[in-house]
Structure 1
Amino acid sequence: MTPELTRDCQTVADRLRATGHRLVLAESCTCGLLAASIAAVPGVSQHFCGSAVTYREQTKVQWLEVDPDLLSRHSAVSAPVTDQMARAVMRRTDEATVSLAVTGHLGPDAPAELDGRVYLAVCVRSGGPGASRDGRDDPYVVHAHALRLHEQLRVQRQIESAREAWQFLVRVALADI
């Protein structure tokens, strides 16, 4: 881990503690880096539920029930798929109040239009920590973000994706109220 990624994780852990949120992850292109980096922060176990690393499309379908038609229409590297991943991992994790999902194509051999493309989605349970489930069809608020990475090495792109994901999470779900 880089010192910058370590600082980002400490910020996330501090904000999770301050807000009372519990976090669950759905990762694709980061391949577990988000989970490994946040788990390195002492005491985070009170607020980190876990991560579903769904690298392949079929795993996304089986573990997170991502719609195969959605994958066919948009590909795994898309905002709609990332949205479904964030919602699904939240549905499967009762104690979580916020989820973060990431998909992307970090190369090598990426099609030009997808090379370095990353999609993020943050899903927040309506009402935040302690909110009751009232049976509404969509008890979540989802925030989405797309970005293009400029680093060339795959591992650098994974680190950059992780940093962007943590910073996006803080901005949209864990900021000071």
Structure 2
Amino acid sequence: MKQPLDQQAHDVARLLISQQQRIIFAESCTAGLVSAVLGRVPGVSGVHCGSAVVYRLDTKTKWLGVPPDILVDPGPVSECVARLMVEGVLARTPEATMAASITGHLGPGAPSAQDGLVYIGVGFRNKPAQIFEHHLTNIDAMTQFPGATLREQRQWAAADLVLRETLKVLSSGASAS
């Protein structure tokens, strides 16, 4: 049976394999979903290093080295934190050649300016990460994703965006030295 995000995961796996890249994820609001989706692809174990699920602020600091003051200002849902998550997870995973991160606020209870806001970082070792900002506010556009609640649908939509941005970066040849 076809699962959500199968095509994106297969496309990412194919490029990782063909480019001999190994990826590690740092996931906050997706709580490991991106890694789980990629892990369903047969043969991906040679290129998929895993995921650091850093949902809480203290975990971002302890596991990835994100400075506590950055988590206060500009805050955990920021371009800066997405970049530091990429750098931190790569620093702690020597076998990985690239990383993707996601941080965001999927609601409910998000401040209105951050409701549905996510930042995705994708980067290669020793190169600046590319950061992508997305707003998951259009409910109609997310009806393709499973979930009984808006939060669940947003989580699937966010995982989809991580895979799509990773695919875009891999396809652009950004890893070439």
Give the shorter-chain TM-score range: 0.7 to 0.9
| Structure 2 counterpart SS, 1:119 | strand
The answer to whether the 8 A contact 1:25-1:51 is kept is yes
Q: CA deviation at 1:4?
A: 4.8
**1:112 corresponds to 2:112:** yes
Whole-angstrom distance in 2 between the partners of 1:54 and 1:41: 23
The answer to whether the 8 A contact 1:90-1:123 is kept is no
Q: Which residue of structure 1 aligns with residue 157 of structure 2?
A: 160
Percent sequence identity over aligned pairs: 41
Q: CA deviation at 1:6?
A: 1.0
Amino acid in the other structure paired with 2:171: A
Which string of whole-angstrom CA distances, capped at 9 and with x for unpartnered residues, describes residues 75-106 of structure 1? 11111011000000001111111100000000
**1:102 corresponds to 2:89:** no
C-alpha RMSD of matched pairs (Å):
1.5
The answer to whether the 8 A contact 1:87-1:140 is kept is no
The answer to whether the 8 A contact 1:13-1:41 is kept is yes
Alignment of 1:83-102 (within 5 A): 83-102=83-102
Whole-angstrom distance in 2 between the partners of 1:39 and 1:22: 13
For these two proteins, the number of residue pairs brought into alignment is: 163
Q: Which residue of structure 1 aligns with residue 48 of structure 2?
A: 48
| Structure 1 counterpart SS, 2:31 | coil
| Structure 2 counterpart SS, 1:141 | coil
Which string of whole-angstrom CA distances, capped at 9 and with x for unpartnered residues, describes residues 111-162 of structure 1? 100000000001112xxxxxxxxxxxxx223101001002371111011101
Q: Which residue of structure 2 aligns with residue 14 of structure 1?
A: 14
Alignment of 1:20-31 (within 5 A): 20-31=20-31
- From 128, 139, 144, the counterpart of 2:131: 144
The normalised TM-score by structure 2 is 0.88
Q: Which residue of structure 1 aligns with residue 5 of structure 2?
A: 5
Whole-angstrom distance in 2 between the partners of 1:115 and 1:167: 21
Change (3 A) 1:62 1:2: farther
Whole-angstrom distance in 2 between the partners of 1:171 and 1:26: 18
The answer to whether the 8 A contact 1:22-1:47 is kept is yes
Whole-angstrom distance in 2 between the partners of 1:8 and 1:124: 20
Amino acid in the other structure paired with 2:159: A
Unmatched runs of 5 consecutive residues or more in structure 2: 140-148
Alignment of 1:121-136 (within 5 A): 121-125=121-125
